[in-house]
Structure 1
């Protein structure tokens, strides 16, 4: 599904160590529950949500050390389906540590709370998802052009209600790698990520749900400064996930993405993105999803304080890994999204935004198609 592009307004003072923000947004969704048709017993499909955000941003340098914090409390209030109301605590805290200029890294903690989308989970029940990441990374400068990389990461997902397809899990990764820097500013890097994971809160009634998994990834990254106006970033990796004792849920393959950005003029910028991913989707008819996406976007600074942006993306989801003895559904979903928005910043501390979006899904299985139109207006004050 396409996501509305968001352009953050300038800080009240970009050189301040501490800044606060207050934002209120109204979001209209014509088909909030992503249904393919109106149910006679409950014809309500549209929803309007009010989102009020109180946030703070801290960015402080202490000699070789730097501390960043971006935290917010978001109150979500639904005008029709008020049982969905919730408050979210979202944050990202990073310590950029440095023992010497040649040995440095980060310690990072993130949390994101949101309502699970109804695209694939169906129903109308409230189901909040909490994603947390705790990570440590290290980079050592070797000679002039080489860097040695290392890292530890713990990633968790918990759902208010258990989900079979993409349920609760904990993943611990250890990574090692190397990066080479070119004189032009371009770079190439390799990382090996070795992960061990466990699933929690598995639900009954689904065939062969694993309790644990092992994940291995070989990853190459490229950052290419083509010209002063054009940059290209790319990632290509081989991902393998195995489930001890339940090989029928295993999957592996090539994943990655390429992102090109072009500053055509000082006011007009374009971006193109292509990606392919693999993710677990464990139910009675599939084990994983192969995801391919193509996206194009542009933003135009009409005036010094007014930006217009637009985008289009196309996503294909293939549901693969049918368990033995089950007739394959051969399900394939295609999602097309278009968006158009405007951001006006009359003064540095205050900005207003408006955006519209249309998304449409077609599927090879009956009852999975939907069309949705949405609109957002917001105001943000920073001080």
Structure 2
């Protein structure tokens, strides 16, 4: 996607929403604040004491930190149009590695638009700043990750069952840490995508989108175009109400990724994500998800990985005030590299929520993760716990 087109997408997102600003507001904004304190036994995901001593200068791999946030959610009904979004600013303070303290933000706006009964769609933009994960750096680097997106989708009604779908989106990811030898700028990436296809709507309201999508990925900070790629996805996205208590949603694609300057990295195969929700009772919801995705990140031996896994979640409304959420996940991560590297990651978490007051909630979250890798120093395990308070106004 050329720069003029990228700018056009962002402009459409902002200008379309700004053009509606003369309308009346009523109960549109929902502000909130939150605070949390957390402990992680292995924040930098290190394998053992020797790795910790080499990377941190100590065998103590644990860290505690505090996170604070204030924001507002918006849901603005303008006749048949809906504008939604949120704005949040956050502050994270680490107890030991204070050099990583940062102020982040999360901004998003979306306009769900409708013209007569024939043309509808959505357009939006987002901007998020957060601390980059430590999975590959394994060091206390203050690398802030900026992710900016813009998108537009439109549906043209053919009849009561069929619609034509056209869409485009752009994503820019920028790493802030530029100091050698640990600069992360080589992983800055721009991804521009276009999609087209058809949507089928069943009499009960389920939707099936038959889509073709092309995505172009490039790394603007790299001296060569070695990892520039074009990806083609052809498949179906669906949201199917199977029964009164069961819902299936997801996407299933045949994906082909071509690297013109490093053809040994080419990929062709099935990708997708299928989730089943079962509303067993009025107080219990179960979810089972299977997935296979490409995750793009450049390391010394690979430019992406193929992650396939399964997750299971149970949500139980124990009382009017107490909610318990149990989540388990197992993944196999295949790095498309030589020598061949394969990891297995298993995580389990429990979230206990208590509604202290009508608009005040306390959450206690405990998590454990174990990763096994056939690559040296890439196995790890961790335990974490977080206590958080959220208050809406």
Matched residues in 1 for 2:185 and 2:257: separation? 15
Is the 8 Å Cα contact of residues 109 and 126 (structure 2) preserved in structure 1?
Answer: yes
**Residue equivalent to 1:339:** 349
What's the CA shift for 1:37? Answer: 1.1
What's the CA shift for 1:161? Answer: 2.6
Matched residues in 1 for 2:118 and 2:280: separation? 36
Give the secondary structure class of the aligned counterpart of 1:121. Answer: coil
What's the CA shift for 1:166? Answer: 7.6
Matched residues in 1 for 2:95 and 2:345: separation? 27
What's the CA shift for 1:145? Answer: 0.6
Is the 8 Å Cα contact of residues 251 and 288 (structure 1) preserved in structure 2?
Answer: no
What's the CA shift for 1:102? Answer: 2.2
Is the 8 Å Cα contact of residues 139 and 150 (structure 1) preserved in structure 2?
Answer: yes
Give the secondary structure class of the aligned counterpart of 1:248. Answer: helix
What's the CA shift for 1:356? Answer: 0.4
Give the secondary structure class of the aligned counterpart of 2:83. Answer: strand
Matched residues in 2 for 1:232 and 1:112: separation? 30
Gaps of 5+ in 1: 1-14, 323-327
**Residue equivalent to 2:28:** 17
Is the 8 Å Cα contact of residues 175 and 184 (structure 2) preserved in structure 1?
Answer: no
Q: Tell me if 1:173 matches 2:193.
A: yes
> 1:36 pairs with 47, 70, 87, which one?
47
Is the 8 Å Cα contact of residues 165 and 282 (structure 1) preserved in structure 2?
Answer: no
**Residue equivalent to 1:3:** none
Matched residues in 1 for 2:96 and 2:332: separation? 32
What's the CA shift for 1:279? Answer: 2.7
**Residue equivalent to 1:214:** 230
Matched residues in 1 for 2:253 and 2:127: separation? 26
**Residue equivalent to 2:219:** 199
**Residue equivalent to 1:325:** none
Matched residues in 2 for 1:53 and 1:186: separation? 37
Matched residues in 2 for 1:284 and 1:31: separation? 23
Q: Tell me if 1:378 matches 2:378.
A: no
Is the 8 Å Cα contact of residues 93 and 108 (structure 1) preserved in structure 2?
Answer: yes
**Residue equivalent to 2:4:** none
TM-score of the two chains, using structure 1 as the length reference: 0.89
Q: Tell me if 1:142 matches 2:149.
A: no
Pick closer, same or farther for the CA change 1:283–1:164 going to 2, 3 Å: farther
Bigger relative CO (Cα 8 Å, ≥ 6 apart)? 1
**Residue equivalent to 2:249:** 233
Give the secondary structure class of the aligned counterpart of 2:136. Answer: helix
What's the CA shift for 1:179? Answer: 0.8
**Residue equivalent to 1:313:** 329
Matched residues in 2 for 1:270 and 1:166: separation? 41
**Residue equivalent to 2:309:** 293
Q: Tell me if 1:118 matches 2:154.
A: no
Q: Mean alpha-carbon deviation: is it higher for 99-108 or for 351-360?
A: 99-108
Higher helix share: 2
What's the CA shift for 1:219? Answer: 2.5
Matched residues in 2 for 1:286 and 1:198: separation? 15
Matched residues in 2 for 1:101 and 1:166: separation? 47
TM-score of the two chains, using structure 2 as the length reference: 0.87
> 1:369 pairs with 369, 373, 379, which one?
379
Matched residues in 2 for 1:342 and 1:190: separation? 39
Matched residues in 1 for 2:271 and 2:330: separation? 17
Is the 8 Å Cα contact of residues 227 and 261 (structure 2) preserved in structure 1?
Answer: no
Give the secondary structure class of the aligned counterpart of 2:318. Answer: strand
